[in-house]
Structure 1
C-alpha cells in the first residue's frame, strides 16, 4: 500500500517507537488506547482506535469495532480511508501530572487522558491528604482516595463514582414524604406518580448525565471518594468540584498514584504532586468520514448517538 508500519505489542510500546511516524493506530480496548495515548507528546500526531473484541470490551475511546472474521476486509478499508484523507480531527484535553522526589530532586511528569487516582495501596486503609484547588486550601481529608478526571474521564470511572442510583432516588422520595411542608408534599406526589410509571432509572440517569462534561473542556473535576464527614456544612463544597489545577500534599503512609489505569508512582508522607489542565498538549484524535459497518453490530457512530439520546 506504499507505506511503512511498525507493529508493537502493548507491553513493549516505548516513546522512541513513535518518534518518526505519522499516525498511531491502537488495536485492542480502552486500556491499549490509553497506553498508546500516554506516550504521544506531540499534539499534532493523530491516534485512531480500533476495538479488537467488542464482545468483551466496551471500547468507549475506540473509533471502530473489529470482528475477528471481518479483520482481513475491514483493516485495509480503514487504512485506505486514512491515506485518502477521508477523516476529521478532534482534540481531547489532557492533564499534566508532576511530582518531585524530595530526596533526589528528580521530577516525574506524565500526561493523563482519563483520570489520576491517589490512595493507600491497601484499599482497606484510610487515605489522608491535604488539597489545594486553584491556589485555595481545601484542608485535610480522610477517604478511600482522591480521583481527578478530565472531560474524557468524566464518562468513565469518575462517572461511576459520582452517579446517582435508582435506590438513591427512591430514598429521596421517601424522605420528602415525611415532611408536612405543602411544597414538599406536592413534590412527593409527583415523585410517587413518577415511581408508579417506573421512571426512577430515567431520573437517576438524567441527573448522572449532567456529571459528564466535554472531552475538550479545559477544566478538571476532583472528587474525594467515600470521604469521612465530620462537618457536613463545609465538606460538600470542599470535597469535589471543577478546577484547573490541584495540588495534593500526601499524608498517605504507603500509597500510589495511578494514571489512566497503567502508570503507577509510589507516594508516602510528605510527597507533593500537582495535576493541571494542559490544553496545549491535547490529544489529536481522528474519526473516519464513513465508517465500516459490521453485520449484526451497530457502527460506533450509531452507538454514540444512542448514548447521547
Structure 2
C-alpha cells in the first residue's frame, strides 16, 4: 500500500476551504419565498403525451424501454419532499409561491425576498438563470440527497432539518458567498435570427425575452460554464481565440472550448480534464514503477491529487478555459504555444464554424457561426448571492 505524505483528507479540506469572499453577515428577510420546483422526468414525459390517455401514455413509455415504476417512484419522492418543505415554511408564517420551469418569470424573482430551488443542481441553475444581480439570495434544498450530489444546494443534512436551515437564515448564522458568473457579450453575429434555443424543451422568463443586441450582454449569466463549438460533435470546430485582452488571435482546430467559473469547476470542467487512474498507472510503468490501480495505490493517490487541484473557488475572479481535443499538427494551432487549458480574466472567441452554438449552463444556446464574435468576462455585479453555514 502506498501512503502519500500529503493526506487526501487534507487536500479535500483545502479545496473545500479555499479563500471565499464573505460579506458582512446579516439576517435574510424570509417573508416571501419563491420555491422553484424540480421538473421530474415523469412530469416532462406527461407533458409530451398530454393529449393521450393514461393507458396509452404508459404503453408508449414501456415501448421505449422506460421503467415506469422508477419514474413514478422518484417523482413521488420529490413531491413528498416539496410538500414537507412547503408545510415547514407555512408553519413559520412565510408566504410561499411555487413555480416550475414552465411558469418561472422575472416578475416572480422581483416579488420574492428569497429564491429556493428544490431539487438538485439542475433546478438550482434554472432558479439562478433569471436572477441577474448580486442582491437576491438563491438558497437550494436537495430533494433526493441519497441519489443526488447537489453541490449547489445546502449541505445534505439540511434536507432533513428544513426549519433549522430557515432559522439560521433568519438569525444571520451564515456567511455570504458570492458565486461569480460569466457575462457573455456578442460583439458581432452572423445572422439576424438571434433568438435563443432552450435545450430542455421550454422557454423560461418569456416576460423579459428581447432580441439579441450587438454590444450588449446576453440576458443569461453563466453560473457553471459557457461552451462554444460545432453543434454536430463529430465536426471539427474552427475557432479564433484571444486571451486577457491580447490583440493576437490564435487559430484553433478542436472539439470546442469550455469556459468555466469556479462553481463550474466541479462540473463539466472537471469531467473534461479529469486524469483517470489508468493513465497515471501507465505513466508510472514508463518509469519502471509497477503500480496497481486499487483504492490506496500510488496511481490512485496521484490521480486524486491532480483532479482535486482542478477545482477552484466559486468566487474566484478568473475563468478557466479548456480547449477540447486540440489538434496539434504542423500548422495548428497558429501561432504555436497556447496551452490546452489555463486561466484568463477575459476571453474573446471568433467563430469560423459551419453550424455552431454558444451554450450557457447547458440550458440555452445561441447560433455561433462563421464571423460571430463573443467576449466573456467576470463582473462583480453579476455574481450570484448564496450562503454557507458556519457549522
Short-chain TM bin: 0.7 to 0.9
Shift of 1:158: 0.4
Residue 28 of structure 1 aligns with which residue?
119
| Residue in structure 2 matching 1:226, options 281, 304, 325 | 325
Q: Which residue number in structure 1 is paired with residue 345 of structure 2?
A: 244
What's the offset of the Cα at 1:37? 1.2
* Contact 1:51–1:66, Cα closer than 8 Å, also in 2: no
Report deviation, 1:151.
1.0
In 2, distance between residues paired with 1:170 and 1:238? 24
Q: Which moved more, 1:99-108 or 1:43-52?
A: 99-108
Aligned equivalent of 2:143: 52
Aligned to 1:260: 361
Are positions 1:134 and 2:244 aligned together? yes
Contact conserved, 2:228 with 2:356, CA < 8 A, in 1?
yes
Structure 2 gap ranges (5+): 1-91, 193-211
- Matched residues in 1 for 2:226 and 2:372: separation? 16
CA separation of 1:139 and 1:120: change in aligned 2, threshold 3 A: same
Tell me the TM-score normalized by structure 2.
0.64
Indicate how the Cα distance of structure 1 residues 225 and 235 shifts in structure 2: closer, same or farther if over 3 A, else same: farther
Partner of 1:65: 156
Q: Name the structure with the higher strand share.
A: 1
| SS in structure 2 at match of 1:43 | coil
Q: Deviations over 1:230-254 (max 9, x none)?
A: 1599756343211001011001111
- 1:144 equivalent in structure 2: 255
Distance in 2 between residues matched to 1:252 and 1:266, nearest whole Å: 10
- Rounded Cα–Cα distance in structure 2 between residues aligned with 1:142 and 1:5: 50
Counterpart for residue 304 of structure 1: none
Q: How does 1:99-178 map to 2 (within 5 A)?
A: 99=186, 100-101=188-189, 106-107=213-214, 108-109=217-218, 110-136=220-246, 137-177=248-288
- Count of matched residue positions in the alignment of Structure 1 and Structure 2: 273
Counterpart position of 1:272: 373
CA distance, structure 2, for counterparts of residue 153 and residue 67 of structure 1: 23
Q: 2:304 aligns with which of 205, 210, 213?
A: 205
Structure 1 residues not aligned, in runs of 5+: 178-190, 291-309
CA gap 1:50/1:44 in 2 versus in 1, 3 angstroms: same
Deviates more, 1:236-245 or 1:267-276: 236-245
- Measured against aligned partners, the alpha-carbon deviations of 1:28-79 in whole angstroms (never above 9, x if no partner) come to 11011011112112212111111111233220111143899x5xxx434433
Question: 2:117, 2:277 → 1: CA distance?
Answer: 36
**Matched residue of 1:147: which SS?**
strand
Give me the whole-angstrom Cα distance separating, in 2, the residues matched to 1:236 and 1:154.
24
CA deviation after TM superposition for structure 1 residue 171, in Å: 2.1
1:281 to 382, 385, 390: 382
135 and 87 in structure 1: CA distance in 2 versus 1, 3 angstrom threshold = closer
Measure the CA separation in 2 of the matches of 1:193 and 1:168. 11
Equivalence for 1:217: 316
CA distance in 1, matches of 2:306, 2:164: 40
Aligned residues of 1:93 and 1:216 also touching (Cα < 8 A) = yes
What SS does the corresponding residue of 1:148 show, helix, strand or coil? strand
The alpha carbon displacement at 1:22 in A equals: 1.5
User: 1:12/1:65 Cα in 2 relative to 1: closer, same or farther (>3 Å)?
Assistant: farther
Contact 2:277 2:293 in 1 (8 A): no
Specify the SS of the correspondent of 1:226: coil
Instruction: State how far apart, in whole Å, the 2-side matches of 1:7 and 1:217 are.
Output: 32
Could you tell me how far 1:2 is from its partner in structure 2?
3.3
